[in-house]
Each structure stands twice: as structure tokens, then as C-alpha cells.
Structure 1
Amino acid sequence: MKLLLNTAHLYMIVGLIAGLYYRELTKARHFTGQSELGVVHTHVLALGMLFFLIVLAVEKQFALSAQRSLFTWFFWMYNTGLAVTVIVMTLHGTLTVLGKSSGEGIALVAGVGHILLTVGLVLFFITAGKALDAGRTPSTATAFAAQEAS
């Protein structure tokens, strides 16, 4: 659980730095238009910090990490996807603010980042589903079955 809290904390720091970077770069360049850089801050805070705080709460309740292999794959796949996505967004936004064009390579790498994020999310839901099923005792299984039937 400490890993999830530390991960959320790291994303909070990165998100705040991203907001500061956006503000200072656009101010220094007198940039008033739209760029990817303007949404990096919120993406990191929502998809990083908030998401991992939610995962922490789910872990506390349902012991996701007991599904060791699935949990490990989810954790690293999601973090890799988010890191790639955020780096590419930052690069693309910085180039926009500097008045330079970004190539097709940036779009390709952004796509890979989003695919990794998607795979990570799918693995999260598979892990959560297995953790929920593993947590059912005979008495709660009957209650769940009756609830799902209605």
C-alpha cells in the first residue's frame, strides 16, 4: 500500500511542476494560444495522483495486490503508459508554445502511450474483479448471488 501512496505522491509533485512549467513558459514566451501543455497538469493530477489514491482505497478494501502477477502487470503497464503520454504531451505542448511544429513521430508515440494506458486499465479491472471474487466467503457469496439475480 505504501507503493500506491508514494506513486500518488510522486504524481502530485509532477502535476504541480507541470502546472508551474506551463505558466512560466507561456508567460516568458508571451504565448496566449492553446497547446497540449495546458492540460498536462490536470492529466497528471487526475490520471496519476487521483487514480492511485482510488487504487489505494480499493487495495485497502479488497487486497488487489494479492493477485500478485496481475497487479504487477497493471501497475507497470499503467505507469509506463501514463509516463509516455505525459512526456509526449509536454514535448508537443512545448513545441507549440515555441512556435515549432511537431512531427508524426510524436503522434505515434502518443498513440503507444494511450494503448499502454488502456492495457493498464483493462488489467486493473481484471485484477479488481479477481480480488472481489477471491474475497467472497460462502455467506457473502449467497448474498451477492441474490443481489445480482435481482
Structure 2
Amino acid sequence: MTRLLNTAFAYIILGLASGLFYREFTKATDTIGTHTQLNTLHTHLLVLGMVMFLLVLGLDAVFSLTGRRSFTVFYWTYNVGLVITVAMQAVRGILTLDGQDPTTTSAAIPGIAGLGHMLLTVALVALFLALRGGIKDRLSAGAKQAVTA
């Protein structure tokens, strides 16, 4: 559970830092008010990072998820997928603010971003498998208590 809390904390730091970076970068490049992928980066890090891991922390407290193999797959795959996704979001935003078209600069940008999204999808499936197992174990433990009572 401590690892989940530390992960949420790391994402709040990254989210706040990315908001600060956006503000300072747009001031430095005189592009204040320009809408790009960069200005939503901090929101993605805060919601998909911090909020998600705080929610998972609560689910772990109720359903004891951390000892499950599917939960370990979720944890690492989700983190890798999120980092890849937001990194490509940052690259795309910076290129746009520099006056370049990210779609014509490199075909790798959307491809790598797509890979990040695919990893997030795999991770969410693994989370649901861990939840299914946790709920099943909790229900069976409750049934055993009812029989012994």
C-alpha cells in the first residue's frame, strides 16, 4: 500500500511540475494561450496518475490486491504506459509550440503514443482481473464466516 501512495505522490509532483513547465515554456517562447497537447499534460498526470493510484489504494485496502500477479502486471504496465503516453504528449506539445507540425515531423510520435495507450489498456484489464479475484476472495471469506457463526 505504501508503494501505491508513493506512486500517487510521484505523479502529483510530475503533474505540478508539468504545469509549471508549460507556463514557463509558453512565456519563454511567447506562445501564451496557444492550445497544444502540452497544456493538458498536467491534468493527465494528475488524474491518470495521482487520482488513479489513490483510487487503487482504496481498492487495495478493501480487496487486498497487492499480492496478486494480475495486480503486479497492472502496476508496472500502467506506469510504463502512462509515462510513454505523457512523454509523447509532451513531445507533441513542445513541437507544436515551436511551430512544427508533429504529425509530419515523425510518424513515430503517434505510433509510440499508441503503444502507450495499448499498454494502459492491458493494465486496466489486469486491474479488473485483480479486482475480480479480490472480490471473489472477499465473498468466499464472508461466506465462511457466516457458516462458522
**TM-score, normalization by structure 1:** 0.89
Q: Which whole-Å CA distance do the structure 1 matches of 2:67 and 2:17 have between them? A: 34
CA-CA distance at 1:65 after TM superposition = 1.3
Percent of matched pairs sharing the same residue: 42
Q: Which segments of 5 or more consecutive residues in structure 2 lack a partner in the other structure?
A: none
Per the alignment, residue 46 of structure 1 pairs with 47
Shift of 1:21: 0.5
- 1:112 corresponds to: 115
SS, match of residue 99 in structure 1? coil
Alignment of 1:85-124 (within 5 A): 85-102=85-102, 103-124=106-127
Q: 5+ residue gaps in structure 1? A: 144-150
| 1:38-74 residue CA offsets vs partner (Å, 9 max, x unmatched) | 110000000000000000011011101132x111111
Does the 8 Å CA contact 1:35/1:97 hold for their aligned counterparts? yes
Matches of 1:118 and 1:139, distance apart in 2: 32
Structure 1 residues 1-150: aligned runs within 5 Å:
1-31=1-31, 32-67=33-68, 69-102=69-102, 103-137=106-140, 139-140=142-143
Give the alignment's TM-score, normalised by structure 2: 0.90
Number of residue pairs matched? Answer: 141
Aligned equivalents of 2:108, 2:122: Cα separation in 1 = 21
SS at match of 2:66: helix
Alignment-mate amino acid for residue 13 of structure 2: I
